[in-house]
Structure 1
Amino acid sequence: MKKHVLAALCCSLMMFNVTALFGQGKVTGKLVDSDTNEALIGAAIYVKNNNAVGTVTNLNGGFELDVPNKEVTLMFSYLGYLDLEKQVTINQDLDLGTIKLTTSSVGIVEVAVVASIAKDRETPVAMSSIKPQLIEEKLGTQEYPEILKSTPSVYATKQGGGYGDSRIYLRGFDSNNIGVLINGVPVNDMESGKVYWSNWAGLSDVTQTMQVQRGLGASKLALSSVGGTINIITRSTDAQKGGSFYTGVGNDGYTKQALTFSTGLLENGWAVTASGSRTVGDGYIQATNFEGWSYFMNISKIINDKHRVSLTAFGAPQWHNQRGNQHLIEDYRSHREKDKWNSDFGYRNGEIYNGAYAHNYYHKPQISLNHYWNIDESSMLATSVYISKSKGGGRRVYGENDDWLKINYDDGRPTEDTKLTPEGYLDYDYVINENSQADNGSTAVIANSINSHDWYGILSSYTKHFGATTLTAGLDGRYYKGYHMYEIDDLLGGQYMLDDSNVNRDETMRLTVGDKVNYHNLGEVLWAGGFLQGEYKTDAYSAFLSLSAAQNSYRRTDYFQYTPEEGQVTDWLSFYTYTVKGGANYNINEKNNVFVNAGYIARAPYFRNAFLGYTNDFNEDAKNETIITGELGYGFRTSKLNVKANIYYTLWKDKGLVKSFGDLTANIPGINAQHYGVEVEAKYQPVRGLNIGAMVSVGDWRWTDNVIFEAYDEDQSLIGTFNAYIEDVHVGNSAQTTAWLGVDYEVLPKLKLGADLNFFGDNYSDFDPTNRTSEEDQVDAWQLPDATILDINANYKFKIGSLDATVYGRIHNLLDTEYITDATDGTSHEVSTATVYYGFGTTWSTGLKVKF
């Protein structure tokens, strides 16, 4: 018995010694942004030189890490922030408290203030943020806006499938009605309000953060943000010397190379960051090959503690072939290319040559000079002067016999005059032969529809803190001149062309490559705005009231339809607009918060709707559109679960539309719509390394009234008054019900796998109100079938010598699901007459990124 007791005592002593020698202590803490104190979710904490001992922060930024009892160096790392080393001695549990990480970009805080980046549990708006890590892991060959498809009430598609041809809808509103800002500067087209994403193809490489603010949003500017605001903050200059190189490949000949380098912040206060990329491919869709470049440069100088200047330039010159026509479903199914079919191209000299509305080239550089003045501890003045001079256009077919090379837009089928080869391609050889033998020159030529512009702007914002109250006031000035014309690019076998579209030119004048035909006009927009906002913030309460006003002035110049004696330049046509909005947030406790906001917007009609047709005649019915909107939201947050939910209501009144079809122009005033719905998104982190996300949004978006419109002939003479029967018809072109379920799991140290399941439902075809002139047309447009798409991704981090490297892999639409993304309603409002675009089948990409 004594021997057994003695043996047990010895074992106990040995175990005590082992525990003493190899025991562990629990290290806890919380990581936050050093400037905003926002929690950093998913940041990495690990023991230096021992990556096996590590963890990531939870949804509150907190962490727990078991570390051996000894002196170790802990590493704190988060994409977009400077790494932090902290030496600690572990002999028992240790609470490090709040640890602040500093952003790796110089001056990013000032940019975020100017750009009105919203903060969770403080800014009373519905919002979702996308970090660069998510873009790197999941974007792949998708279009830039598609990274937002897991966001409530967002619907993004590739449309025809050309490079950069994507579109995005938010709460049922298209990009004309979504305010898009890059570093606080609005980039929506000043004439139409549209955003052409091919102009910003390189943004995914330099995005610091991307935030979708649904509804009113937090921007202080008088924006056209009926549906919401997409706020993009690019990298500025990196505070740390280094860079990265990326190379990737994907389906259908896709290749991409990108290079970034930075001097870091030098001792003399200067810092320079530059990046560039080249992307080429054949395109998933038939005859959609492309080449795109992008460049970005930021030069910053910290003059002293109070002044910093920053010069930023970026752009994305590109050309790409497109698909210009949707088709009937039965025509896709009977064609050998199925859903990849492109009817809008042929061959010239053995090379792909796309036709009308099927080739685009553009370059829109933007340069901004920013000055940040920290006047004192409580006030700051930020001023940005910017310029954008774009050049480019799209291919068109023009002339008396332009139907030789055109497809009928209404049904996607050839016209009775379309010339096709036996294989079904556009027959350029036929046209070249006919033009070469014609007595009066070419009767069908290739022209470029030029849409270039010069854009100058200044944005200045003054911020003053008075204890818990902050006052912001500023000015927003812009001048825009758009150049619109057709230029002959190829005579297709002829020696010249005759054209009678210019009243100031002899119609017998022989025109050649570079001459202008069809139309030549200028559109000028002058914008003078101001804003004033007051904010109140305590730990429990925050509120804001914002006022903004602007004068929108339009002027049109037409060199073809009017003689100098008649007058080619209109007077300025001015509209006065304003926005009033406010909101409040209440943090009930550390876990729960509620918010409410409401606003009234009086918005000017767009340039296109201010004039009748493509003429200098003012549209007397054009008036301000009004938007009334409000939201009520709730948030719940713990270290493992984060839930946000809100309901919204938007009433859009007096929307105007001027639409041309053939030689007729329809002026449709007083269109009203009602959008309301509920949005819920959640993040759950049950265990270390496992992140689960979910989202569901359900909307009900309808046109609320039938409207009366007038139609005019080409001489602007009234030919009749008609009814558009659209009351209670659902708004088209956007899924009104969306859902997402995503899982990311670090299955092994440094190896992460992810899967995303997206659902799109209650999606109705787009439609033209001028085609609904009979009471029998007062029915819903054809409803697209619901779709569920599965994407997967993986990435693995490792070392190449002393360099950090990551390899990425992504597969989109893993199950090769057949689904329709875009549709236009037909005459019967049923599937048989709707024209559509299909979504992409399975696509893939892989890439390697090395940091140095």
Structure 2
Amino acid sequence: MKGFIFLGLCISPFYFAQQVGQDSIKTQEISGVKLLRKLPVTKEIINVKRDLDNRNLGQDLPILLKNQTSVETTSDAGNGVGYTGLKIRGVDGTRINIMLNGVPFNDSESQGAFFVNTPDITSSASNIVIQRGVGTSSNGVASFGASVNILTQEPSEKSYFSTQNSVGSFNTHKHSFEVGTGSLLNGKLSMMARYSIIKSDGYIDRAFSDLSSYNFTAVYKNGNTKLKFMTFGGKEKTYQAWNGISKEQYETNPTYNSSGEIYDANGNIVGYYNNETDNYKQQHYHLLWEQRFNDQWNLNTTLHYTKGQGYYDNYKSDQKFSKYGLPALIVNDSIRIERGDLIRQKWMDNHFYGVVSELNGQLERWNLNFGVVANQYYGDHFGRITSGSNLQQVILPFEYYRNHAIKNEVSGYAKALYKIDNFEVFGDLQLRHIDYKSKVDQASLEEAPEFSKKYSFFNPKVGVNYHLGAGVLYLSYANAHREPVRSDLKENNEIRPEQLHDFELGYHHNFGDLYLSANLYYMLYRDQLVLTGALNDVGAHLHQNVGKSYRRGLEISAKYRLNEKWNALANLAFSQNKNKDYKIETANGTESLGNTTIAFSPNFIGNFTLNYLPVKNLELSWSHKAVGKQYINNTQTEEFKLKPYYLSDFVATYKTQWGKTDIGLHLMVNNIFNTRYTNYGADYGVPYYYAQARANFLAGVSLRFN
């Protein structure tokens, strides 16, 4: 029945849509976005206030983006609070370039984007720009599936105080408070600040989240000069839920969490360690100087610094002391005890700083953009034994490993768009150099990554637009390279960087009440670092080079306004994602499995949203999402297949004014048909699954005092 509803909704292609239609033209023009709109790349620009605010009740940003084209998301805790994951075109988050106002946001070593460290960042955003495929040259890690640039709000010219408060399933609640000074010093200075608290017990057992975040922005304008200082960050404590569960557990007890299991001498579970948690604090500082020289030229330069520090805590049962460099316990000069239960902490203490600078020019037929980037990352990794059994001979805490890493990156790019009659020709050249070293100061058998790598990449891109009345036809080619992440180098020091050739052909047209967009893509990889399904010791998926592989597909989207009360949004993505001649190692040697589907790459993703405004100030939205089959590893065997799934959400929002106060009432019901599903897994020799929440809700009240 549910699948039939979705199929019926999608039969009529004139309803298909995404949030990059004609309405996006009205969004605030922020530096870089104006040029991006013109470029022959596959993109969508999301107005956060219009498109995401009604759903922003406590869930993480990736979950709020789940209905965008070719996007799939997952959540460790199952309900979208805490650690969440984002994939675009089947490409995992470590290979999606995330930026905040053009400043790199991905972690330099893992290249992941951990939004849990800056919860409720959506409340400080104005627009989110998603480029699918390689896109244009940008300021962070190489984009191998997409790039996402989060553009933050500017302080309001009028003073205000606002608060958002919501509660919901699994004891989830969010409280956010924001204040703006309005214009000061004759309109030259304005400031705003936000503080948020988000807590949840999670859908998965003990997978609680205790999150807080802040944002402070000050802007000073004087003539053609603008200075902007922004500091933001957060603190998180989450119970670990990254192990997954077996097929039997998924079918009988899908909320089970094996993290923190405590065993007796016979191997029976007798309890759970209550502090099996991840603890991390991150602080960001950005100082922007924007200088407008004349009507043609402007310069934007940002100095940035990020400080991160934290650890995760583990109970480890019956461990060999020698594994951690611990001495044996000698009892009565004759009994030698070499094992015991341990509590360990793995720490990170890191710094990331640099400069990002862009020069923009517009000369008659030319749009020009030049950029330079210089960043350095310095990080310490170390482990401590904090307590345990049979440790009388040790002074605690005992440090059992320490290593540090330095990663330097320098890059520069030049972009040009030239208009000839109905054509616009685009060129983009980027040079990127990375010097990445990891040195062991103190080693254990468990942690000893040591390497020194240098990579130099040249990434050219070309494209052309052809304007057909209210429509635009575009064709582009982009070449990109990307270095391996720390965990991949730790597992295999000989792992190679990957290369991508991305071809995009698209067309978008505005018919008035109907906006249509369609594109074909072909992404040809060499040495693609695909997910293997295996996990490292912190629940992160490992990659491997697979020689030649490709992703190709068709993406269709549209927006249709029937009348003042009804409008519809939808998008469809059909794809093939293949390893060419995939090989595995068996007891009999190397075996070829032929062409296999790349892990975690669904062949279909579809979204449909129907919006209805029955009376003034009331908006009802019914969203549908369908995802096709995918596989946990690259063998394409039935045992490791994740089944297709269908989800449906309902959102109701009522907004009104009482004097100078804006009032909003919000209700969101996720997975209204109570579907049991999983969209992520792990390969432990047998498949493991991450169960996602069944029917759940969030309800909230927002107030703004002007």
TM over 0.5: yes
| 1:130 pairs with one of 46, 50, 59 | 46
Contact 1:442-1:496 within 8 A present in 2 as well: no
| 2:456 pairs with one of 569, 573, 576 | 576
Determine which structure has greater relative contact order: mean sequence separation of CA pairs < 8 Å that are 6+ residues apart, divided by chain length: 2
**Structure 2 match to 1:278:** 197
Superposed displacement of residue 136, structure 1: 1.6
Residue 342, structure 1, aligned to residue 294, structure 2:
no
Give the partner amino acid of 1:286: D
State the SS of the aligned residue for 2:62.
helix
CA distance in 2, matches of 1:247, 1:667: 40
CA distance in 2, matches of 1:587, 1:556: 50
**Structure 2 match to 1:755:** 622
Superposed displacement of residue 552, structure 1: 0.5
Change in Cα spacing, 1:805 to 1:116, as seen in structure 2 (3 Å) is same
State the SS of the aligned residue for 2:204.
coil
Change in Cα spacing, 1:321 to 1:607, as seen in structure 2 (3 Å) is closer
How many residues are aligned here?
A: 659
CA distance in 2, matches of 1:473, 1:446: 51
CA distance in 2, matches of 1:610, 1:836: 26
**Structure 1 match to 2:165:** 247
Superposed displacement of residue 217, structure 1: 1.6
Residue 525, structure 1, aligned to residue 407, structure 2:
yes
Residue 516, structure 1, aligned to residue 399, structure 2:
yes
Residue 480, structure 1, aligned to residue 362, structure 2:
no
CA distance in 1, matches of 2:274, 2:407: 32
With normalisation by structure 1, the TM-score equals 0.72
Residue 739, structure 1, aligned to residue 603, structure 2:
no
Superposed displacement of residue 669, structure 1: 4.8
| 1:838 pairs with one of 691, 700, 703 | 691
Contact 2:495-2:544 within 8 A present in 1 as well: no
Residue 594, structure 1, aligned to residue 473, structure 2:
yes
| 1:155 pairs with one of 72, 79, 82 | 72
Change in Cα spacing, 1:570 to 1:101, as seen in structure 2 (3 Å) is closer
> Deviations 1:811-830 (Å, cap 9, x if unpaired)?
00011111122123565xxx
Residue 203, structure 1, aligned to residue 121, structure 2:
yes
**Structure 1 match to 2:331:** none
Contact 2:318-2:342 within 8 A present in 1 as well: no
State the SS of the aligned residue for 1:176.
helix
**Structure 2 match to 1:397:** 315
State the SS of the aligned residue for 1:512.
coil
Contact 2:76-2:82 within 8 A present in 1 as well: no
**Structure 2 match to 1:449:** 346
State the SS of the aligned residue for 1:205.
helix
Residue 728, structure 1, aligned to residue 610, structure 2:
no
State the SS of the aligned residue for 2:640.
coil
Residue 766, structure 1, aligned to residue 685, structure 2:
no
Contact 2:508-2:516 within 8 A present in 1 as well: yes
| 1:606 pairs with one of 468, 481, 485 | 485
Give the partner amino acid of 1:628: H
CA distance in 1, matches of 2:703, 2:374: 42
CA distance in 2, matches of 1:691, 1:539: 35
Contact 1:442-1:492 within 8 A present in 2 as well: no
Superposed displacement of residue 160, structure 1: 4.6
CA distance in 2, matches of 1:743, 1:786: 22
**Structure 2 match to 1:228:** 146
Give the partner amino acid of 1:576: S
- Which ranges in structure 1 are unaligned for 5 or more consecutive residues? 1-40, 44-57, 62-77, 79-99, 104-108, 404-437, 498-509, 563-567, 614-618, 712-719, 768-776, 828-832
CA distance in 1, matches of 2:207, 2:584: 41
Change in Cα spacing, 1:342 to 1:606, as seen in structure 2 (3 Å) is closer
Superposed displacement of residue 138, structure 1: 2.3
Contact 1:496-1:512 within 8 A present in 2 as well: no
CA distance in 2, matches of 1:117, 1:496: 66
CA distance in 1, matches of 2:440, 2:702: 51
**Structure 2 match to 1:553:** 435
Residue 258, structure 1, aligned to residue 116, structure 2:
no
CA distance in 1, matches of 2:350, 2:427: 35
CA distance in 1, matches of 2:670, 2:617: 22
> Deviations 1:55-88 (Å, cap 9, x if unpaired)?
xxx9656xxxxxxxxxxxxxxxx9xxxxxxxxxx
**Structure 2 match to 1:688:** 564
Superposed displacement of residue 625, structure 1: 2.1
Contact 2:39-2:417 within 8 A present in 1 as well: no
Residue 805, structure 1, aligned to residue 685, structure 2:
no
* Map 1:643-658 → 2, pairs under 5 A: 643-655=516-528
* Map 1:421-440 → 2, pairs under 5 A: none
State the SS of the aligned residue for 1:318.
strand
Flag the structure with larger Rg.
1
> Deviations 1:779-827 (Å, cap 9, x if unpaired)?
5663222111110010111233431111100000011111122123565
Give the partner amino acid of 2:650: I
CA distance in 2, matches of 1:634, 1:284: 42
Q: CA RMSD in A?
A: 3.4
Give the partner amino acid of 2:658: I
**Structure 2 match to 1:12:** none
Superposed displacement of residue 631, structure 1: 0.6
Change in Cα spacing, 1:645 to 1:825, as seen in structure 2 (3 Å) is same
**Structure 2 match to 1:678:** 554
| 2:675 pairs with one of 799, 817, 820 | 817
CA distance in 1, matches of 2:140, 2:34: 13
Deviates more, 1:281-290 or 1:721-730: 721-730
Superposed displacement of residue 602, structure 1: 3.0
* Map 1:250-399 → 2, pairs under 5 A: 250-266=168-184, 267=186, 269-302=188-221, 304-334=222-252, 338-345=253-260, 354=273, 358-398=276-316
Give the partner amino acid of 1:344: S
Structure with the higher strand share, 1 or 2: 2
**Structure 1 match to 2:506:** 633
Change in Cα spacing, 1:735 to 1:142, as seen in structure 2 (3 Å) is farther
> Deviations 1:135-160 (Å, cap 9, x if unpaired)?
22124343320222222221111145
With normalisation by structure 2, the TM-score equals 0.86
CA distance in 2, matches of 1:706, 1:389: 41
CA distance in 2, matches of 1:552, 1:798: 52
Identity of paired residues, percent?
21
| 2:133 pairs with one of 200, 215, 228 | 215
Superposed displacement of residue 725, structure 1: 4.0
Change in Cα spacing, 1:377 to 1:761, as seen in structure 2 (3 Å) is same
> Deviations 1:746-799 (Å, cap 9, x if unpaired)?
1100011110011011222235xxxxxxxxx67566322211111001011123
CA distance in 1, matches of 2:34, 2:99: 10
Superposed displacement of residue 467, structure 1: 1.0
Give the partner amino acid of 2:214: Y
CA distance in 1, matches of 2:35, 2:161: 26
Give the partner amino acid of 1:732: A
> Deviations 1:639-669 (Å, cap 9, x if unpaired)?
211111001000110236899989xxx9965
Change in Cα spacing, 1:248 to 1:687, as seen in structure 2 (3 Å) is same
Change in Cα spacing, 1:639 to 1:661, as seen in structure 2 (3 Å) is closer
Residue 851, structure 1, aligned to residue 673, structure 2:
no
CA distance in 2, matches of 1:841, 1:385: 44
CA distance in 2, matches of 1:757, 1:600: 35
Contact 1:117-1:211 within 8 A present in 2 as well: no
Contact 2:160-2:181 within 8 A present in 1 as well: yes
Contact 1:731-1:764 within 8 A present in 2 as well: yes
> Deviations 1:443-495 (Å, cap 9, x if unpaired)?
22111211231101110111222212022222100100121121223x14655
Give the partner amino acid of 2:509: F
Give the partner amino acid of 1:694: A
CA distance in 2, matches of 1:571, 1:142: 38
